[in-house]
Amino acid sequence: MSGFICTVLYPNEEDATFDMDYYLKTHMPMVLKQWAQHGLQSYTVIKFIPGSDGSRPPYSVQATLQWKDREGVEKALAGEEQKIIFGDVKNFSNKGPVFMGGDVVGTS
């Protein structure tokens, strides 16, 4: 089993703004184009909904990025492309993302 997953979460604070249209049509295609050379294979975007009790989820949006391996992620984050990608966040969100990654250790 191999692969590496990065999860990017956007806070759902009271004053948070998020332009989903820009994110889906501009930002994420740019991410794939910039980082495919480093092994980014695909992404999935999830928009969270309130809990069954109506509670506000701690995050509004999640992007899950599927990579070939950890080395590719390390190269992508060390490259010039990361400045373009992270510099674009201000165009769709007023909150910085939480970025986490991990090795794939099981799938169905």
Domain ranges of the chain: 15-57+66-95
The model's pLDDT over 7-56, given as tens digits with 9 standing for 90+, comes to 999 999 999 999 999 999 999 999 999 999 999 999 999 999 999 999 99
| Contact indicator for 37, 79 with CB cutoff of 8 Å | no
pTM as predicted: 0.92
* 11 close to 93: Cβ distance less than 8 angstroms: no
Supply the mean pLDDT for the chain.
95
Residue-level pLDDT at 82? 92
Helix (H) or strand (E) segment spanning residue 74: helix 70-78
Q: Does the pLDDT at position 76 exceed 90?
A: yes
Contact 22, 77 (CB under 8 A): no
